[in-house]
Every structure is written in C-alpha cells, then in structure tokens.
Structure 1
C-alpha cells in the first residue's frame, strides 16, 4: 500500500493518491477507501490490470493537519476485510477498535 501527495499552490488542497498493491489486496474484487474527510463513506478504488487498486482524493489543508483512513477489501464471496495502510505515516487508535492509518496534509 502506498500514499502519494501533491500539494496544490493555487488552493488549500492536497491531492492524495491511495494505492493498494496486488499483494495487499489479498485477492479482493473491490477495494474501498474509508476516510474521515468524507464522514467515513466508502470511496471505490479503481481496479487496474496489474491487480492493484488506486484512487485520488482532494484533502483540504486549511481544515486540519491530518486525516485518518482505512481500506475495506471485498472478497469474491462478498465478505469484507478492513485493513490499514502497511506504510502509513502513523496510526491512531480507532473508537471501533484497532488502529486507523493517518495521512498528514501539513506542509
């Protein structure tokens, strides 16, 4: 899993690309990003031919310094597995148990 950031000079936004590798996807047919920036609503990652998944979202930089996120992997049988970013900048305890990944949007 990886996160790439691009800070925009024209507005207070950081374009963040979330990528889940084929290995990390664990054979999932769908992968969703759940992030506090949109109230933890599922955002689908696009499945790519090489077996990995990718999505880019705009995170505001004038609201807060970082955002928590997780991934939901949907298996062929419809079961769901929640996982953190293996390479996250940091982790924070989740009120639902376990930890959430954290991405910083402070320059």
Structure 2
C-alpha cells in the first residue's frame, strides 16, 4: 500500500497520494488526524487499486488508518506506528 509524497515548492505543503490495492473490496476510506478522523473515500480504479490525494502542511506527523469494507487496517509502509489507547491498537504514522 504505497504512499507517495510530493513537496510543493510554492507552499509549505506536501501532496500525499494514498494507493490501496484491494481488488475484492467494494469501499476503501482513510481517516486520521488530517480529517479529524472522519472518513474520506478513495476512488476505485479498474486495476483494483483505490486512490486518493490531499495536501498536508509540512513539518508535522499525522496518525491515520484505512477502512476497507468496514475493517480498520494500517498502512504496511507507514513511516512509523503509534499506540492508540482509545482503539487499543497501533495507528499508522505519516511524517511530512
């Protein structure tokens, strides 16, 4: 589940692209610090990947997780993981 980062030269922001391979899934969402843990749907493509983009301010860390057909899943290529007492599990961490 790769994440790509493209730092913008014109603003102190980074364009984040989430790509989640989930051919059998009907819905993939992402939730994290950057959207107050509200879900944002990723678009499904013919190759079975779900994809979404957003711009985030730089010099910060963001915790997040994917929701694949209702199941919370971590990014396997996350920059780090942090324990979340509320959910009693680890969250993926994105360092921008």
- The alignment's TM-score, normalised by the length of structure 2, stands at 0.93
Question: What residue in structure 1 maps to residue 49 of structure 2?
Answer: 52
Question: What residue in structure 2 maps to residue 8 of structure 1?
Answer: 8
Q: Among 33, 36, 40, which residue is 1:36 paired with?
A: 33
Q: Which has the higher strand share?
A: 2
1:20-99 paired onto structure 2 within 5 Å: 20-21=20-21, 25=22, 27-61=24-58, 64-74=59-69, 80-95=70-85, 96-99=87-90
In the alignment, structure 1 residue 101 sits paired with structure 2 residue 92: yes
Question: Is the alpha carbon distance of 1:26 and 1:48 closer, same or farther for their aligned partners in structure 2, counting shifts above 3 Å?
Answer: closer
Name the CA distance, whole Å, in 2 between partners of 1:54 and 1:43. Answer: 11
Name the CA distance, whole Å, in 1 between partners of 2:42 and 2:52. Answer: 5
What is the deviation of 1:12? 1.3
What is the number of equivalent residue pairs in this alignment?
95
What is the deviation of 1:35? 1.4
User: Residue 49 of structure 1: SS of its match in structure 2?
Assistant: coil
What is the deviation of 1:87? 1.1
Question: Is the alpha carbon distance of 1:48 and 1:26 closer, same or farther for their aligned partners in structure 2, counting shifts above 3 Å?
Answer: closer
Structure 1 stretches of at least 4 aligned residues deviating more than 2 Å after TM superposition: none
Aligned Cα root-mean-square deviation (Å): 1.2
User: Residue 72 of structure 2: SS of its match in structure 1?
Assistant: strand
